[in-house]
Amino acid sequence: MATYYWVGGTGTWNNSNTTNWSLTSGGVPGVAVPNSSDTVIFDSASGTGTCTTAATAAAATVTLASSTLGLTLGASLTISGVFTLTLGALNLGNNTLTALVFSTNNANVRSIAFNTSGKIIISGFSGTVWTSNTATNFSYTGTSYVEFNYSGSVGTRTIVTGTLTEITSFNIKISAGTDIITGPSFAKNLDFTGFSGTFSNGNRFVYGNLTYSSGMTISAGTNPTTFAATSGTQQITTNAKTIDFPLTFSGTATYQLQDALTMGSTRTLTLTTGTLDLFSKTLTVGLFSSANANTRSILFGTGNIVIIGSGTVWNTGTVTNFSYTGTPTVNISNNSASATTVTTGVMTEAQALNFNYTVGTYTLTDDSAYYKSVNFTGFTGTWANVARTIYGNLTLVSGMTLTAGGVQTVFSATSGVQQITTAGKTIDFPIAANANGGTRQFMDALTLGATRAFTVTRAIVIFKAGTTNTGGTFSFIGTSTSQITLQSSTPGSQFTLSQSSGVVSAQYTTISDSIATGGATWNAFYTSGNINAGNNTGWDFLAQLGRYIYTRRKNRVILN
């Protein structure tokens, strides 16, 4: 077990050339060549140029600490101990360096050239098998590949990368073992294919793809994994493993699911920047947060997001620069009685998402509620009264409870048909339809609380034929450029509007197949821009004509 120093500059390291070997730093050359039990050192006295290894090169440990002499692998090199890169340039030359442990933990200028197919294999176990804790002045070129191939079950392998950037992070593969892996904190691609041990939770950044294996165990914890690539597409493959720690997406790349991803019920997925591509897969999270003004988007395709946590389960309170493509389906599947809050933020019609509340007995408060469609099928809890805007369908269910209140829900689609299903529930809060271009269609009878108003300022409103639709107050106030239409779901079959008292004074409203009743006075005077489109009962369409004012259908007052 001797120590050999390289001297004399450029040369070849094999099992016969003694020209460049000395027993002391900068000493007399010509001693025997190192073997597999010896230590090899390249230092400041090694000369200038390149040491190129041959297939017969051998050592137990190697230290490269020279700024003037580089080490290039002319063939693959296997050592049984530690390879230490202290200073200088290591060129793998498309070959493989295999070592028990690799260390490059200092602030000296040092580099690794992986070229196109060079790689480092680490065979060590039960300890720190890789350390690059200080990344200052470190760089590499080519396609990095670092593999940890210990296949046993002994101890814990610790991979200490230090704080690496996207440029300096390595592609790391854990290809075997049933032991425990701690680290790495930073990686380019991180691949566990072949590993069936336990991966400890840690605070880590991934700048490339992440691939878990189906046979491994992933420890739960509070430390997040952050996907931080600034370009390209990061692929995430979980192989049906539950991710029971937080996930953050903070780069400007596209993060693409390769299979369904499931997180623990208390864990938050945070979309800070970039594009989250569901790739038509199901993403199940405890909670979802994306409340910022950064450019970010979700590509749903035909996929969906499932929320299984409680508390503030969805937060897009700030929606500036948020967008999506595909069918935007969010399923809130919190099967509990714990109070739940959904904060959508003030979304435009183009930004708003479909929310399905599929289970649970909780009280739902949807703060700053802007929906595409909202569906409560399966929900048996309570929907609090808050200000909300719905651009799509509303589906209530008989088993749920609606909190009474004076805050209005507005139906605001600008195109298509909004279907509103009340399931026999009394809507004890005001509702309104206020957007041109869309149609509001009630799929069953509408029943409002005795003091609640249905206000229509723009839109086509279709009531289900044969139903009685009861309101505290109906208000149909169109304009000369925004005519309101009230009609039946079945042309020729009447629907009923019922208001117990007061006067309904429609303006710029086209009415057909309607029965107006209940004790109120129903005025739809022609002079107010209204149109009797036929088959109406209970409405007064007459108005001042010439010298007469028609105040009721069969009464008139003569003007002098």
Can you tell me the distance from the alpha carbon of 282 to that of 278, in angstroms, rounded to the nearest whole number?
7
Question: Residue with structure tokens 């435009």?
Answer: 348
Give the residue-averaged pLDDT of 344-356.
97
Q: What is the pLDDT of residues 435-483, one digit of tens each?
A: 888 999 999 999 999 999 999 999 999 999 999 999 999 999 999 999 9
Indicate whether 548 pLDDT > 50: no
**CA–CA gap between residue 3 and residue 23 (Å, rounded):** 6
pLDDT tens digits, 253-294: 999 999 999 999 999 999 999 999 999 999 999 999 999 999
Going by their DSSP bridges, the two strands 11-13 and 138-141 should be labelled as: unpaired
Going from N- to C-terminal start, the domains of the chain cover 404-560
Report the predicted TM-score, pTM, of the whole model to 2 decimal places.
Answer: 0.92
Query: Which spans in 152-238 are helix H?
Result: none
CA dist 418 → 118, 408, 453 (Å) = 60, 17, 19
Asked if 177 and 201 count as a contact pair (C-beta separation under 8 A), the reply is no
Element (H, E) at 19: none
pLDDT attached to residue 133: 87
Placement of tokens 């990344």 in the chain: 135
Q: Which two tokens stand for residue 448?
A: 């409002």
**Mean pLDDT value of segment 186-214:** 98
Q: How many residues make up the chain in this entry?
A: 560
Which of 492-531 are b and which e, b meaning 16 or more Cβ less than 10 Å from the residue's Cβ?
eebbbbbbeeeebbbbbbbbbbbbbbbebebbbbeebbbb
pLDDT of residue 218: 98
- Cβ-based neighbours of 296, under 8 Å, separated by 6 or more: 249, 271, 272, 273, 274, 275, 276, 290, 321, 322, 323
CB 53 within 8 Å of CB 71: yes
CA quadruple 318, 323, 328, 331: dihedral positive or negative? negative
